[in-house]
Amino acid sequence: MKPAPFEYHAPATLGEALRLLSEAGDDGKLLAGGQSLVPLLNMRVLRPSALIDLNGVPELRVVKTSDGNGLSLGAMVRQRTLERDPLIRERVPLLSEAAALIGHMQIRTRGTLGGSLVHADPAAELPAAVTALSARLTVRGPSGVRTLSSEEFFIGPLTTALAPGEVLVDVLFPPLPPGTGWAFVELTRRHGDFAIVGAAALAHLDGAGRVDFASMALCGTGGTPYASPWLGDVLHGERPRAELIQEVGRRLSESVEPDGDIHASAGYRRKVAGVIGTRALALALDRAQGPHRAEVA
């Protein structure tokens, strides 16, 4: 099938894009990478009267350092850039590792950071990664600029906190302490498929080899990324050991509330959440201890 007729707009600035989106109202759609939108247009699940293409807005493609050695990424930064850019790999290697697992190279070449986050697929890698990284998402619209945490941004399956007329502008990643370990691990039916369950993990050890910081977020276990609020309390001050990691896995399996679907039952996803979570945490802790922590798998 082919899309229903629509007006095509190619703004050159963010201000122009916001004006066009405001004029189109509920009948307007933003085009980023198009990996999710174009199939919906072709199947006529969506029938917008106007399509506003963000690919010509250079301010949405910026990769730059921020205060305190954090990193600011524009919403239109390509997933392939997330995977390969040296600055991103240095500052937020977890994001690079997660991006490398998205679909296939052709998809990552067109897909964008902001497109994936706004689409908010519960099985997608990038929402879980930005949640584990405590990223802040900047949105701009008729009422001005808002900055949201990932927990505030993701509301439910394919649903975000974006208000009518708002655009996701950039994502700010706070700096990580030197020596922070990271990992993104997932289970898929085939290479390039959405994850049945995925886990993004970060860990940092103090000078005595004890955990002083850890975070984790899961995808595929509910309508939004599951961030384990208890993880820091369980791990803080502890030396990494197998029994401790297995305890985290047990608690993950008990904490998540996934839905079943044609790919996996709810019970299977709960079990896998514990297994994948322990693998991600073990790898993050290993990287926090080892000299290979600057590598990205």
| Residues sharing a CB contact under 8 Å with residue 94, sequence separation 6 or more, in sequence order | 129, 132, 133, 182, 183, 184, 200, 201, 202
Angle (CA) 171-193-36 rounded to 5° is: 55
The residues with which 126 forms a beta bridge, in sequence order, are: none
Give me the amino acid identity at 40.
L
Nearest to 49 by CA among 82, 70, 27: 27
Q: How many CA atoms lie within 13 A of 125 on its CB side?
A: 28
pLDDT given at position 291: 60
The answer to whether residues 121 and 128 touch, using CB atoms and an 8 Å cutoff, is: no
What rounded mean pLDDT belongs to the chain?
Answer: 94
For 168-213, the pLDDT digits (tens) are 999 999 999 999 999 999 999 988 888 999 999 999 999 999 999 9
pTM: 0.94
For 38-78, the pLDDT digits (tens) are 999 999 999 999 999 999 999 999 999 987 779 999 999 99
From CA 65, how far away is CA 41, in angstroms rounded?
36
Nearest to 130 by CA among 180, 78, 172: 172
For 278-296, the pLDDT digits (tens) are 999 999 999 999 764 434 3
SS3 assignment, position 224 = coil
Domains of the chain from N-terminus onward: 7-53 (3.30.43.10), 60-173 (3.30.465.10), 181-289 (3.30.390.50)
Beta-sheet strands, E only, within 174-228: 181-187, 197-205, 211-219, 226-227
Characterise 158 by phi-psi region: left (phi > 0), alpha (psi -120 to 50), beta (else): left
